[in-house]
Amino acid sequence: MAEAQLSLNLDIKHDASLSDFAGPGWMSIIDAVRQLHVGLIGQLYLFGSPETGKSHLLSAVCESFIEMDKSAICLSLNELIHTDVNVLSSLENFSLIAIDDLEVLEQSSQWQEALFHLINRSREGQRQLLFASNKPATELPFQLTDLLTRLAQSPSFKVPNGHDLADRQALLQSILRRRGWQFDERIITHLLTEGPHRIGAMMEVLNYIQPMFSNLGRSNISKAVISDALRTIDEQTLAAELADIAQETQVDNDIANQDQHTMPLDF
């Protein structure tokens, strides 16, 4: 199984832990993950907007299975959709199969069918399945209705949108503790209150500013460095917000184009 994981270039991202999701908004989801651990549920479906932590959570769940001496694999369908569909073969040998970016399967009926058969094989072998998408299963525009039925049988949870400060704070504290990073309290407060709310964007900003302090001891951090870090947080946050606006505009345009193509003719 390790060889299969390596050949797919799908190594679990070990910089993820369930402790990152200790915030109150994640409690019901983590409870469901615990049920997944012990086999009380066989499937779990998560959905929510981009950059809200779904991929990070999938990596954390896989890591938790590995810590329990179980096997796990995490698939990004966004990365795999243009490769050979046979990469889904034999994955049912893993204890947990986590499948991210489910919505991209709209592009391929062949991949929909392959996932349907993988789900069936996994269920027969009593393996656990974890799905993530930007839409609820009931809103996925798949042609294969049997696949939609399988996905809809999963307990389903919408992930928090990041607007709760307590959720962001719990995540940030967990990541800083695990990585052994120490920042001035002014930087942490500014990132939490003025930085991006979406988890993915917040983590990108965190990774962006960390090199500014990598060669400095706490006693060597000047006011100028702190000011640079605060300004960088503001700049990167603005860039993330502009990217969100552009993405929302593109989605609106796509919907408008679809409506035009399906508009009935008036005779």
Full residue range of the structural domain in which residue 231 is found? 181-249
Same domain, 43 and 118: yes
Same domain, 71 and 189: no
- What is the pTM assigned to this prediction? 0.85
Same domain, 98 and 229: no
Same domain, 8 and 127: yes
Same domain, 185 and 154: no
- Asked whether residue 163 is assigned to any structural domain, the reply reads no
Same domain, 61 and 145: yes
- Asked whether residue 165 is assigned to any structural domain, the reply reads no
How would you list the strands of the sheet with 156-158, edge to edge?
72-76, 96-100, 128-133, 43-47, 156-158
**pLDDT value at 3 more than 50:** no
- Asked whether residue 176 is assigned to any structural domain, the reply reads no
Q: Long-range contact list for 111-115, CB < 8 A, 24+ apart? A: 111/77, 111/81, 111/85, 112/142, 112/143, 112/144, 112/147, 113/144, 113/147, 114/85, 114/86, 114/88, 115/88, 115/147
Angle at 104 between CA 152 and CA 237, to 5 degrees: 105
54/1 Cα distance (integer angstroms): 24
CATH number at residue 49: 3.40.50.300
In the chain, the percentage of residues whose pLDDT exceeds 90 is: 73
Same domain, 10 and 102: yes
Same domain, 193 and 230: yes
Count the domains in the chain.
2
Q: For the segment 70-86, what is each residue's pLDDT rounded down to a tens digit?
A: 999 999 999 999 999 99
Q: For the segment 23-61, what is each residue's pLDDT rounded down to a tens digit?
A: 999 999 999 999 999 999 999 999 999 999 999 999 999
Same domain, 52 and 142: yes
Same domain, 217 and 144: no
Element (H or E) spanning 111, and its range? helix 109-124
Same domain, 138 and 198: no
